[in-house]
Amino acid sequence: MGFPFASTNIDKEFLALDNVSFSVKEGEVLGIIGHNGAGKSTLLKILSRITEPTKGKAILRGRVSSLLEVGTGFHGEMTGRENIYLNGALYGLSRIEISNQLDSIIDFSQVENFIDTPVKRYSSGMYVRLAFAVAAHLQPEILIVDEVLAVGDVDFQKKCVDKMQEVSKSGRTILFVSHNLQTIRSLCTNCIVLKHGKISFRGSTSEAINQYVGTKNSDNDCSGLVKFDRNSERYGTGEVLIEEILIKNSMGELTNSLFYQEDFSIEIKCRVLEPISNLALLLRLTDSQDNFHGLSYTSDEHPNPCPHSGIFSFKFNSSTHLLPGEHFVLLALSNMSRAIDQIQRAFIIKVLNCGRGKTTSFPFKETKGTYRINGNWEFSQISV
């Protein structure tokens, strides 16, 4: 399967997908992960029959329902109810079959108050709610979902994942693209890792994530200063963009390597393209397997930290003592209802198993975890 893009140099040809070949079993939930530009969305468009490959072919056995981009598949002038019937007809369902699912679709989407309003007046979140509800409830044999769910709020994303798990248990096949590795881990049985239009790995989800994370870390190793551009791997509505991160140790030096028990600071510089009220920044720590360990976020004391366009800075001064090892940091900007900008593994903090100067080194070999937990121990004699 191949799909070329014309380059600015007419003597060169860029293949969005290059010799990609795989099969998916009935009832399998296949995750597709990779960097921006790896070919994930192009692959799903080919499988959804939106785009034709220049060579090769895609064979699908069963009715396909896809959710790829906000705005795809709905007619803006038609109401939500009319679009449900339109999509059902496109999937080959009769009006009676669609009517039998109508109440479930509307209830799941939670847009019942606007179901008879033209969808051109819907917010992006409302649009995705209804689009996913239609795609998941019209009983497709194959469900294809791209990162579009990131537009919805956290509760709705969880609801969608639960629904996809329900769909997979009924024996249907799901192809799922996401940058949220925890969601990939919880939902998918196997994964494909795409890199530069080719399959670099196909296997179990945990092995795929390890392979992908290893590649990503080698491509963007943090030395205390990390910069991002519009092509960086991120998702969100994009009114505010994270551009630069500075990690400093207790001496004020730029570095991502810290001594045990050393304080540190993280400065996140953001470009505000369009002011967002109630903007909050979340910093989330995980281990290499994307297991959650802790978080910190800006408080409600500053509901409008970026009141106009420009570059603004968030600074986090940490006095928490991280345990030795590698700590992966997710950064997310949101207004509590939708993701504005999120970078899954923005940088890594490496904590050494030794102290600075007279600082005590960590005395044990076992260093799994994130924090050193502060507290008091009490001892008493129970019997003689």
- Any idea which of 145-154, 230-239, 337-346 has the lowest mean pLDDT? 145-154
The DSSP output letter for 114 is G
Measure the CA–CA gap between 137 and 124, rounded to whole angstroms.
20
264-298 pLDDT, tens digit per residue, is 889 999 999 998 888 888 888 887 777 777 888 88
* % residues pLDDT > 90 (the chain): 17
pLDDT band at 146 (very low <50, low <70, confident <90, very high): confident
Taking a C-beta distance cutoff of 8 angstroms, is the pair 370, 323 a contact? yes
- Any idea which of 138-142, 222-226, 363-367 has the lowest mean pLDDT? 363-367
pLDDT band at 22 (very low <50, low <70, confident <90, very high): very high
pLDDT at residue 229 greater than cutoff 50: yes
Fold type of domain 222-351: Coagulation Factor XIII; Chain A, domain 1 (2.70.50)
Pairwise pLDDT comparison (2 vs 334), residue with the higher score: 334
Beta-bridge partner residues of 312: 270
pLDDT band at 118 (very low <50, low <70, confident <90, very high): very high
Instruction: Give the pLDDT score at 243.
Output: 92
Taking a C-beta distance cutoff of 8 angstroms, is the pair 39, 199 a contact? no
45-97 pLDDT, tens digit per residue, is 899 888 888 888 899 888 888 877 665 678 889 999 999 998 888 777 888 98
pLDDT band at 355 (very low <50, low <70, confident <90, very high): low
Extract the tokens encoding 326.
């590698």
Map out the domains of the chain as residue ranges. 2-217, 222-351
pLDDT at residue 212 greater than cutoff 60: yes
Instruction: Give the pLDDT score at 107.
Output: 92
Measure the CA–CA gap between 164 and 174, rounded to whole angstroms.
8
Highest CATH level, class, for 2-217: alpha beta
| First CA to last CA distance, the chain | 78
Answer yes or no: same fold for 2-217 and 222-351.
no
Size (the chain), residues: 384
293-320 pLDDT, tens digit per residue, is 788 888 666 667 788 888 988 888 887 7
Instruction: Give the pLDDT score at 84.
Output: 92
Mean pLDDT of the chain, nearest integer: 81
Taking a C-beta distance cutoff of 8 angstroms, is the pair 249, 258 a contact? yes
- Tell me how crowded residue 38 is: count the other CB atoms within 10 A of its CB: 24
